[in-house]
Amino acid sequence: MEIDRQKKAEVLQHTVKHIDIKAHDPRALIDAYKQMSFSARELGRACELYERMLQDERCTIILTIAGSTSAAGCMQAYVDLLRHNMVDIVVATGATVVDMDFFEALGFSHYRGTQFVDDRQLRDLYIDRIYDTYIDEEELQHCDRAIKEIADTLEPRPYSSREFIGEMGRWLAANPARAVKADSLVQVAYELGVPVFCPAFSDSSAGFGLVTHQAERPDRHLSIDSVRDFRELTQLKIGAENTGLLMIGGGSPKNFAQDTVVCAEILGHDVPMHKYSIQITVADTRDGACSSSSLKEAMSWGKVDASAEQMVFAEATLALPLLAAYGYHGGSWKKRERRRLARELAAA
C-alpha cells in the first residue's frame, strides 16, 4: 500500500507530552477536595489512603495499570512512582508495557489528534487511533521486530512475563543507541529491581514479535508462562506483611493482583487480604462487572479489606497525576526501604 508521506507528516505533528508530577504540588487543592462531595471527596480520601500506604513501613505497594493512560500522557508519572520508591510491584497490560512504554523507549512518540476524523483515511496513512491519540503503525511494527530481536537472543524455554520484561529492560540498558528514551518504565524497573508482570502479555505488540519468533524457530523458541507469573506474584504476596493496591482502570491486572490472596490460601498459606486498595475507574457496577468487581464486593471473595478501600469514579488522566503528585510532594516515600523484589525472584 502506497502511503501519502506528506499527509501523514501533517497529521502526526503534535506529540503527547507526559505530565511531570514533580513540577506540580496539588496538596492544597486536594485538601480542599476533602471538604467537598462526590468525586472530589473520593479523590481526597484516596490520596489519604495512598499516604497511609507510603507511611506503612510493612506495606508492599502494587500498582496495576489497564487502559491507555500511558499513551495519553501519564507514563512519566508511572516512572516517577518507581524511581521515587512509591511502588514496589507493577502489574499491567501488555499494551502499557510494550505498545506505549517500550515503544517510546525506542524513540517513537504518541501524537495528539482528534476523535472527529475519517478512520478510513487514518488506515490509508497507517495511523492507529486511541480516541484522540494517534500512533504510527509503521513505528509500532518496528517495536514488534525489536521484541522478536530480543527473543531471538534468549535461551529457548518458558519465561514468565516478568522475566521477559526484565530482559527487555536489560536490552535497553545495554543498547543506548537503540534506547533513545532512557527514562522508560521498563528500563527503570530493570535498574531498580521492580518486578513488572503482564498477565496477558501476548495481547500487545509483544504478541506479534513472539509469534514471528516462534514461526521462524518451530523447534527452538521461547514461550510466556502465565501460570508462572501467577505463582511468582503470589509468592511476593506470601512474603509481604501488608499489601496495598493502587489500581488504574481494572481488567486482568486488577484481578490478577487481587487473586493472589486466594491463590496463597489454596497453596496452604494464611495471608491477610490486601490491607489498602484504591481504584480509579470509569466502569459501572450495575452490570456486575466494574472491571472485576467493586472493592467492597471483592471482600466477599477474601481479596480486599473493605475497611481501607476507596473507589474513585473519574477518568484516570485527570485523577492519577493529582494522586501521584500528592504522594510525591508529601515526601513519605523518602523514608521507605527499597525492596528490589525482582532480584529476590531471580535468586529463588
pLDDT tens track for 132-154 = 999 999 999 999 999 999 999 99
Q: Which residue type sits at 246?
A: L
Q: How far apart are CA 69 and CA 50, in angstroms?
A: 19
Residues of the chain with pLDDT under 70: 289, 291-292
Q: How far apart are CA 100 and CA 38, in angstroms?
A: 32
Contact between residue 304 and residue 274 where contact means Cβ atoms under 8 Å apart:
yes
Topology given in CATH for the domain delimited by 5-136+179-204+225-347? Deoxyhypusine Synthase (3.40.910)
Sheet holding 133-136, edge to edge: 111-112, 133-136, 127-130
13-23 per-position pLDDT tens digit? 999 999 999 99
Contact between residue 213 and residue 249 where contact means Cβ atoms under 8 Å apart:
no
Residue 292 is predicted with a pLDDT of 56
Active site residues: 303
Residue 300 is predicted with a pLDDT of 79
Q: How far apart are CA 22 and CA 69, in angstroms?
A: 18
Across-strand partners of 281? 313
Q: Which residue type sits at 143?
A: C
Q: How far apart are CA 70 and CA 54, in angstroms?
A: 23
Q: How far apart are CA 150 and CA 324, in angstroms?
A: 32
Query: Which residues make Cβ contacts (< 8 Å) with residue 279, sequence separation at least 6?
Result: 245, 247, 250, 254, 295, 310, 311, 312
Q: Which residue type sits at 341?
A: L
Q: How far apart are CA 53 and CA 276, in angstroms?
A: 7
Buried b (16+ CB within 10 A) or exposed e, 88-98: bbbbbbbbbbb
Domain locations along the chain = 5-136+179-204+225-347
